[in-house]
Chains A and B, each alone.
Chain A
Amino acid sequence: MIKFKVILIFTVLSTITSCSETSGLFGGAGGKNDPFANISQSSLDHFSSSIGDTTLFKVNQSVIEPEYRTLLDAQAKWIEENSISSVTIEGHADEQGTREYNLALGARRATAVRNYLVSKGISESILSVVTYGKERPLRICSEESCWSKNRRAITVLKGSSS
């Protein structure tokens, strides 16, 4: 599923001239020579699908698990290399909590990602957070298989559709 998505986007990317320097699936390198005053939508999709925009959390936790450090390191690198000017971290919770608490929990998760990116050199001034609590589930079953995907923080670059 994911592989298919990546290939599809790669095909799209390679046909767009402004991204002609894109050097591969993980290559945001094109941005280096291009000042991203107007980052193209396809590059933003590339970020979410190839780098990955989602950090998942354990039940009622907002600690960045070790397995997501690599992802966030790659996010930081991509954000820096592509001179992204604005990044919003959206924090979410699963449905197994009360509304207000989940808003606060989503804010904790988003802030944990934000703080990690700051620790990797991303300027605080381009980072903002928003919590959705349990308002915007990605998966809709009422089982752990869905809840585990809903306990998330999404790194959204300006102009991204996600």
Chain B
Amino acid sequence: MMKIYRVLLAFIIMCMIMNAPAYSEEEVPEIDIEVTDGVIDPIPVAMPEFVIDNFSSSIVANEIASIIKNNLTQTSLFRFIPENAYISDVTSIDAPVRFADWRAINSDLLIAGSVSVIGDVITAKFRLWDVVGQSEIEGVQFAGPTGSLRRIAHKVSDLIYAGITGEGAYFDTRIAFIAERGAKNDRTKRLAIMDQDGANLTFLTDSNSIVLAPRFSPDAKKILYTSYETGRPRVYLRNLVNDRVRTFPDLPGMTFAPRFSPDGKSVILSITNKGNTDIYLVDLANNTQKRLTSNAAIDTAPSFSPNGKSIVFESDRGGSQQIYVMSSKGGQAERISFGEGRYGTPVWSPRGDMVAFTKMYKGNFHIGVMRLDGSQERLLTKAFIDEAPTWSPNGRVLMFFRETAGANGAPSLYTVEVTGRNLRKLELSSFASDPSWSPLLE
């Protein structure tokens, strides 16, 4: 197992001045992120070659550096200064830092590391320095098998990101999604899982049955999904540790749109029976079901609040598809979406203060966010089809799928920050849809 030694803990330094009202920022800034006309100036970072003790260490060190660089660059909050500009290097992770040399190339931050590989064990140390304040921000040491290389790199990235921004971490996470292939009228779909950055792709099902919309459990060790393997859409629960698949034979009709409760002990889903779709809660310990909605409307796509007390879902009970909130015990539901157009796929934010959704309006699809009372609606994207947002565990980024129009139209995964900035496509080897972002791994 990987152990984390926090060598030194220092203080957060950053004030992010942005027009994302959800995030109140505290702390006195030492390094500022400047916002000019809505554009953030990325922090200039120097990351000299990590100190190594032999050739195999150098391969591992370079790979870790490249993963860290990729993670941090993706956020648009960091800019790596090209190595040919460096006038100094780091020959020992424990030696004093020549701050003047790093300041001379306008670096605000310095990431120093040392990597040693002996047999199958990586030992890696990292220090994050505030070049301006001439102080250490984070120091950390990892030891793990060589197979944990990428996770070490993600954990270091998380420490740097969290240390600088004051936000929660999110790089050491996985994405469950649907990998798609083939023509639009002959698509095959496979349940797939990968690291947040697209590495370590694994397929969990073959292409014989349509599969839809995987959802991680709160401990990231299980996923719920929908499969047509019996010929009809039915919900399945797959244990990622032992690969066992659990079915729900007691549920009638067709079942889909499952999500875990925050304690992982129940599943909320839709059952379609006799043409009517309602929301049910299933207790995983004893398989008992509780019906939470019962009317002739379509009630689907439920998502729990982080405290488990409420459920946000979509319904066309008012005549068109809109977002509603009700108690997780069922009962009266309050409509919260009142803008023009139709609203679906609501997902409660990890911080509990917002809901992300898909909005359909005037022939376009949007990913958007709003408060739980429906106020402060902001649309973050616009395309032919943008659908199915999933939150990063820190509530900072939304992943969704974008499907292009036309006979050759196909879906890909994208991320966008909750501020609406930094839209990025994940470059994958197949079409991809229905992402589910895992919680932080242990």
A150: nearest chain-B partner, CB-CB: B185
How far apart are the CA atoms of A132 and B272 in the complex, in Å?
12
Q: Which single member of A97, A140, A142 contacts B185 (CB below 8 Å)?
A: A140
Q: A107-B272, A110-B275, A130-B254 are in contact. Are A101 and B300 (CB under 8 A)?
A: yes
Is the CB of A98 closer than 8 A to any CB of chain B? yes
Q: Describe A's contact surface by its main secondary structure.
A: mixed
Residues of A within 8 A of B189 (CB): 135
B275 touches A95 (CB 8 A): no
Is the CB of A104 closer than 8 A to any CB of chain B? yes
B275 touches A99 (CB 8 A): no
Residues of A within 8 A of B385 (CB): 95
- Counting contact residues on chain B (CB < 8 A from A), the size range is 35 or more
Q: A107-B254, A135-B210, A142-B409 are in contact. Are A99 and B387 (CB under 8 A)?
A: yes
Is the CB of B390 closer than 8 A to any CB of chain A? no
Q: A131-B272, A135-B210, A141-B406 are in contact. Are A98 and B185 (CB under 8 A)?
A: no
Is the CB of B2 closer than 8 A to any CB of chain A? no
| Distance (whole angstroms) from the CB of A148 to the closest CB of chain B | 15
A142 touches B384 (CB 8 A): yes
| Distance (whole angstroms) from the CB of A93 to the closest CB of chain B | 11
A111: nearest chain-B partner, CB-CB: B275
A138 touches B185 (CB 8 A): yes
Most buried by B among A100, A103, A112, A130: A100
Is the CB of B241 closer than 8 A to any CB of chain A? no
A142 touches B213 (CB 8 A): no
B300: nearest chain-A partner, CB-CB: A100
Residues of B within 8 A of A129 (CB): 275
**A-B pairs with beta carbons under 8 Å apart, 22 shown:** A60-B320, A99-B434, A100-B300, A101-B300, A103-B257, A103-B270, A103-B272, A104-B300, A105-B298, A107-B254, A107-B277, A108-B298, A111-B275, A130-B233, A131-B254, A135-B189, A135-B210, A135-B212, A138-B185, A140-B406, A141-B407, A142-B409
